[in-house]
Amino acid sequence: MAEVHFTDDALTKAKGKVIVLTGGAQGIGGSFVKIAYTAGAHLFVGDWDVEKGEALAASLRADKEASANGGTVTFQRVDVTNYKSQLALFEAAVAAHGHIDTAVPFAAGGEPRGFFEPETLTIESLQAEPTAIRDRLELNVLSVVYFCRIALAYMRNPDPDAAQRAYDAKEPMPKSIVLIASLAGIAQNPGVPIYITSKHAVMGLLRSFAPYAPVRYNVRINAMCPSATNTRMIDSLTESWVAAGLPMNQPEDVARYVLLCATDEQRNGNAIYISGGKGVDIEDGYVKTMPVWMGLQHTIDLQASREFCGLGDGWVETKTSWQEKKE
Ligand SMILES: NC(=O)c1ccc[n+]([C@@H]2O[C@H](COP(=O)([O-])OP(=O)(O)OC[C@H]3O[C@@H](n4cnc5c(N)ncnc54)[C@H](O)[C@@H]3O)[C@@H](O)[C@H]2O)c1
The whole-angstrom separation of Cα 133 and Cα 109 is 11
Share the mean pLDDT of the chain.
95
Same domain, 116 and 253: yes
Is residue 310 located within the same domain as residue 207? no
C-alpha 306: how far from its chain's center? 24
Regarding whether 170 and 313 lie in a shared domain, the answer is no
Q: What is the CATH number of the domain that holds 240?
A: 3.40.50.720
Co-location of 80 and 118 in the same domain:
yes
Total number of domains in the chain: 2
The predicted pLDDT at position 316 comes to 63
pLDDT given for residue 189 in this prediction: 86
Q: Residues 197-236, buried b or exposed e (16+ Cβ, 10 A)?
A: bbbbbbbebbbebbbbbbbbbbbbbbbbbbbbbbbebeee
Best of 229, 235, 238, 274 to mutate for ligand 1, by most ligand atoms within 8 A of CB? 229
Residue nearest to atom 36 of ligand 1 (CA): 23
Domain interval for residue 72:
3-288
Q: Where are the alpha helices (DSSP H) in the chain?
A: 9-14, 27-39, 50-62, 83-97, 131-137, 143-155, 160-168, 193-209, 213-217, 235-243, 251-263, 282-288, 290-294, 296-309, 319-326
Q: Which residue's CA is the closest to the ligand 1 atom numbered 14? A: 27
Q: pTM of this prediction? A: 0.96
If pLDDT is split at 50, 70 and 90, which confidence band does 313 have? confident
CA distances in angstroms from 116 to 119, 121, 186, listed in the order given: 8, 5, 21
Q: With a cut of 90, say whether residue 324 has pLDDT above it.
A: no
At residue 39, does pLDDT exceed 70?
yes
274, 154: one domain: yes
* Lowest-confidence pick of 42-51, 145-154, 304-313: 304-313
Q: Is the CB of 22 under 6 A from ligand 1?
A: yes
Q: How many residues does the structure list for the chain?
A: 327
Model pLDDT, residue 124: 96
Looking at residue 314, what is its pLDDT?
A: 74
Are both 182 and 302 inside the same structural domain? no
CB 259 near ligand 1, within 6 Å: no
pLDDT at 45 over 80: yes
208 with 319, same domain: the answer is no
Q: Is the pLDDT of residue 8 over 60?
A: yes
Residues 240 and 310 in one domain: no
pLDDT value at residue 173: 97
Q: Percent of the chain at pLDDT above 70?
A: 96
Q: In angstroms, rounded to a whole number, what is the distance separating the alpha carbons of residues 271 and 177?
A: 12
**Residues 72 and 160 placed together within one structural domain of the fold:** yes
Binding site membership of 144 for ligand 1 (Cβ less than 6 Å) = no
pLDDT digits (tens, 9 = 90+) for 259-293: 999 999 999 999 999 999 999 999 999 999 999 99
Domain match, 45 and 161 both: yes
Same domain, 197 and 307: no
**Both 53 and 97 in a single domain?**
yes
Ligand 1 centre and the CA of 2: distance in Å?
A: 27
